[in-house]
Chains A and B, each alone.
Chain A
């Protein structure tokens, strides 16, 4: 019996077919229109379309994986998936831990959203932001009181129930929410922070980074990236 168990264990460790190149794409799935889980339970959004197209051009077999924003970098470096494609702005701080491809989405302004008619002190009030985002560090430096939440959803809820005076997040995420609030929510100011959005890749994975960079360059060159940006973010969105 012991021998059977042992050999079964050894087999479990050794078994495994030859590799085709499969790339696991890690995303948050809670940040429309960048990425979200649609009503069919599938990852959807701008990054889904860009990611699938990049994989096609780089001749990779891509699988989508959803992971909490909080632990999205630790799980990349420990190898649970191979890329982060989750609306992540390229910053020097993150670049110390992981590598980024060139940007596939140009810098776009962040927006403060508050209840309509409220006068918000953006430098001294209570501002909500999602944990570990460029917006959260901006608010912390601005002198305002920062309240952090794990998901973008909760930052918006905090403004609605009065816990925070305003929320700072990417305009592309907040603008549809403002537009569909029937006037209950309003834009309370804009700031330009952060660079473009790039795909996060392990520092030791230079080969994948080169492939993705090449695919992004080709999508920029033939205009297909701009078409997708316009499709998901409207005709006024910044393009390349």
Chain B
């Protein structure tokens, strides 16, 4: 980074530190903060999408949809998250590769499952072995994102279903009295009013989502926890910048990051709650 960094063994103090914290490895650490923020920013809407679909399905008039919705909400909420985080990306990955294998290599007769091995033809690999590392990383990130969306979607779905049930029935009946269709009632009366009931549950979920991001490393994505552990660990003279075990400092940085993130989120959520409570016949809405 700086000219004087050419031989780190000769410099010390602040100069050494300034070289140390600007190594390419540290840059990957700083970049991974962006990855975590991106994951939260993308996972939240995806989870809301899954959740909304699940909630609507579980309230559907048709038995098939209702079973599907209830099944989704109950199954994901009942199984430990970590199982799903490990299962969904691997299952999806193998499912995609299996499909591609059937499509692309119909003439390969060797079985895909050979003992412990999962073997698809090299053209069916996803991403291809020849693809650049960043393609592999984006693919891994997308799978992780989907896993977060599915898991958190189930929780959001339950919150939304509860919020829909909390809207006073008299209001919906009034809608019917005015001759609105079910669809119109849903859009004009139920949907705008459910959010205030959903907000406490959703804000909880948002906080849990923020705190769940270290699970990323389980899925092979080098997130901030991975880099903090990797950078903070004891470094012998095999490294350019040897140092003792500094993990406590790195994890302190993570703590500050997560606490600021949750603090800012809480402030914003408080403001939204205040706005949505306006004019509602609730304790919060009286003001």
Q: Which residues of A contact B (CB under 8 A)?
A: 13-14, 16-17, 19-20, 22-24, 29-30, 32-33, 36-41, 45, 61, 63, 65-68, 75, 77-80, 82, 97-98, 151, 153, 156-157, 160, 176-177, 180, 202-205
Contact = CB atoms under 8 A, between A and B. Distances in A.
Contacts of A77: 116-118
A63 B133 contact: yes
Contacts of B23: 39-41
Max chain B CB contacts within 10 Å: which of A36, A45, A82, A151?
A36
B237 interface: yes
Nearest to B96: A13
B129 A82 contact: yes
A14 B236 contact: no
Nearest to B110: A204
Interface of B: 23-25, 27-28, 90, 93-94, 96-97, 99-100, 103-104, 114-120, 122-123, 125, 128-130, 133, 136, 217, 220, 222, 229-230, 233-234, 236-242, 245, 247
A156 B233 CA distance: 10
Contacts of A20: 130
Nearest to B237: A180
Nearest to A30: B230
22 contacts: A13-B103, A22-B130, A32-B239, A38-B239, A39-B23, A39-B24, A39-B241, A41-B27, A77-B118, A78-B93, A79-B97, A82-B129, A151-B229, A153-B234, A153-B245, A153-B247, A156-B234, A156-B245, A180-B237, A203-B115, A203-B117, A204-B115
Contacts of B122: 19
B242 A180 contact: yes
Contacts of A157: 234, 245, 247
Contact of A204 (B117, B130, B240): B117
A30 B241 contact: no
Contacts of A14: 100, 103-104
B114 A204 contact: yes
